[in-house]
Amino acid sequence: MATTRSINTFIGTETLSEFYQRNNQPLPVDLLEDKPSRGHFNVKLSANIAKRTPYNRRDYYKVCLSNGEASGILHYNGEDIVLDRPCLIFTNPSVPASIEMTSPNSSRFYCLFDKRFIGGYLTPDVQYACALFNHNLPPVIPLNDEDKTRLHGYFAEQQALLTADYPYKWDMIRNLLILIIHEGIRLQQNGQPEKPPQRDKVVTQFFDLLNCQYPVASPENAVKLLTPSDYAARLHVHVNHLNSLIKKHTGKPTRAIIHEKIVFEARALLRNTDWNISEIAYALGFEYPSHFNRYFKQLTALTPHEYRTGTMTPPVPQL
């Protein structure tokens, strides 16, 4: 059960190095390299104590397996989600989050990894179906005892492989991670009557283009593609063909998918940075801040200033 709460402070982005420092853990060797070849991955069995982790964004991905023996709360993008049963938790790096354990004497597995470790191994449409990469999806997936036991085995095997001498252990670890991600997607989609349509090359390329523009790292690196026509031109297809494929694959118009991404990033920048509203407007590809103000208000019922300083966030109107 989730409840909405207000966020009025700017929220930082935690790096992998800061994560290890915060947890009083030595910095792994691969993070000391200038250009680590395989990316970073780690998995740990952590004792839950009654405390709350910092509420922030991250520059890394994190997956948690909670055994449900201790209760807690996931604070996620302004909502409080009660954790009172076994569950798999996928937290999107762009979404502010923290976990608060309200009862001690339990343990949970978690793994964390960066984009280099997983990049290129999951197609964009698979990413769209997982809360790790799609902020619109619920981050908590309830598990029954059979699911919990099976997933616990995957995490435990990853942990054992970390200290193994097998030369291809990182491939095995990555395959287990991909398996965990697919298990989460499958369990989240259980009970849905329709099967997702077979992926199309154009759909994959569209999501690849969409995802590579976000999150926005600085006002100088402005978003270039803002409309379905922009994406269609880059993909060398007619805009009507693109709209038809995206609607068939997601059930939503291309325009709605793009708007969701822009509005989500706008909210994140307004909450989590000290950029002024003009800088945010330019970073999101708007030629004039006044255009951004009208756009944001049309889709959220608030001006950017009202959203940044307000205490309540109304739901986004239907696109």
Q: What confidence tens digit (pLDDT) does each residue in 41-56 have?
A: 999 988 655 578 888 8
Q: For CATH 1.10.10.60, list the domain ranges present in the chain.
A: 201-309
Instruction: Name the CATH superfamily housing domain 2-189.
Output: Regulatory protein AraC (2.60.120.280)
Q: What confidence tens digit (pLDDT) does each residue in 240-277 have?
A: 999 998 888 888 899 999 999 999 899 889 988 889 99
Which pLDDT value is given to residue 105? Answer: 61
Top mean pLDDT of 33-47, 83-97, 207-221 is at 83-97
DSSP string, 215-236: S---TTS-----SHHHHHHHHT
Helix axes of 254-272 and 228-235: crossing angle, nearest 10 degrees: 110
In the predicted structure, residue 61 carries a pLDDT above the cut 90: yes
Alpha carbon distance 233, 238 (integer Å):
7
Strand 57-58 vs strand 13-14: parallel, antiparallel, or unpaired?
parallel
Q: What confidence tens digit (pLDDT) does each residue in 154-199 have?
A: 999 999 999 999 999 999 999 999 999 999 999 998 855 454 545 5
Which pLDDT value is given to residue 49? Answer: 58
Which pLDDT value is given to residue 139? Answer: 94
Which pLDDT value is given to residue 13? Answer: 85
**Predicted TM-score of the model (pTM):** 0.66
Q: What confidence tens digit (pLDDT) does each residue in 272-286 have?
A: 888 999 999 999 999
CATH 1.10.10.60 fits 201-309, yes or no: yes
Q: For CATH 2.60.120.280, list the domain ranges present in the chain.
A: 2-189
Q: Coil, strand, or helix at residue 247?
A: helix
CB 6, CB 312: distance < 8 Å = yes
CB 83, CB 66: distance < 8 Å = yes
